[in-house]
Structure 1
Amino acid sequence: MSEPAAETQSETLTARQQAVLDAVLSLMVEKGDHLTMTAVARRASCSKETLYKWFGDREGLLTATVQWQASKVRAGNFDRQKLDAGALRESLKRFATNWLEVISSPTSIALNRIGISQAAARNGNLGSIVLANGRFAIGERLKPVLDAGREAGLIAFDDTEAAFRTLFGLVGRDVQVRLLLGDTLTLSKAEIARDAERAAEQFLTLYGTAQSAPGRDKSNA
Structure 2
Amino acid sequence: MTMAQAETQGEALTARQQAVLDAVLSLMVEKGSGLTMTAVARRASCSKETLYKWFGDRDGLLTATVQWQASKVRAGNYERQKLDSGALRESLKRFAANWLEVISSPTSIALNRIGISQAASREGNLGSIVLANGRFAIGERLKPVLDAGREAGLLAFDDTETAFRTLFGLAGRDVQIRLLLGDTLTLSKAEIARDAERATEQFLTLYGTAQNDPGRKTNNA
> For residues 11-160 of structure 1, what are the structure 2 equivalents within 5 Å?
11-160=11-160
Identity rate, percent: 91
Cα displacement string for residues 71-95 of structure 1 (whole angstroms, at most 9, x for unaligned residues): 0000021100000000000000000
Cα displacement string for residues 85-109 of structure 1 (whole angstroms, at most 9, x for unaligned residues): 0000000000000000000000000
* Counterpart code for 1:163: A
* Counterpart code for 1:186: T
Q: Distance in 2 between matches of 1:6 and 1:44?
A: 23
Query: CA shift at 1:9, angstroms?
Result: 1.7
* Counterpart code for 1:116: I
Q: Distance in 1 between matches of 2:137 and 2:7?
A: 10
2:62–2:126: 8 Å Cα contact kept in structure 1?
A: yes
TM-score scaled by length of structure 1? 0.94
Q: Distance in 2 between matches of 1:129 and 1:6?
A: 12
2:7–2:137: 8 Å Cα contact kept in structure 1?
A: no
Aligned to 2:219: none
User: What root-mean-square deviation, in Å, do the aligned CA atoms of Structure 1 and Structure 2 show?
Assistant: 1.3
1:7–1:74: 8 Å Cα contact kept in structure 2?
A: no
Structure 1 gap segments, 5+ residues each = 217-221
Q: Distance in 1 between matches of 2:65 and 2:47?
A: 17
Query: CA shift at 1:198, angstroms?
Result: 0.2
2:9–2:68: 8 Å Cα contact kept in structure 1?
A: yes
Q: Distance in 1 between matches of 2:214 and 2:182?
A: 39
Greater RCO (CA < 8 Å, at least 6 residues apart) = 1
Query: CA shift at 1:215, angstroms?
Result: 7.9
The 3 A distance-change label for structure 1 pair 138 and 72 is: same
Query: CA shift at 1:150, angstroms?
Result: 0.1
Alignment partner of 1:183 is 2:194: no
2:96–2:171: 8 Å Cα contact kept in structure 1?
A: yes
Query: CA shift at 1:192, angstroms?
Result: 0.1
Q: Distance in 2 between matches of 1:43 and 1:121?
A: 27
TM-score scaled by length of structure 2? 0.94
1:103–1:109: 8 Å Cα contact kept in structure 2?
A: yes
Query: CA shift at 1:213, angstroms?
Result: 1.1
The 3 A distance-change label for structure 1 pair 138 and 15 is: same
Q: Distance in 1 between matches of 2:129 and 2:140?
A: 15
Query: CA shift at 1:7, angstroms?
Result: 3.9
1:19–1:44: 8 Å Cα contact kept in structure 2?
A: yes
* Counterpart code for 2:39: A
3-state SS of 1:212 partner: coil
The 3 A distance-change label for structure 1 pair 194 and 186 is: same
> For residues 189-208 of structure 1, what are the structure 2 equivalents within 5 Å?
189-208=189-208
1:67–1:133: 8 Å Cα contact kept in structure 2?
A: yes
Query: CA shift at 1:212, angstroms?
Result: 1.0
Structure 2 gap segments, 5+ residues each = 217-221
Q: Distance in 2 between matches of 1:215 and 1:5?
A: 41
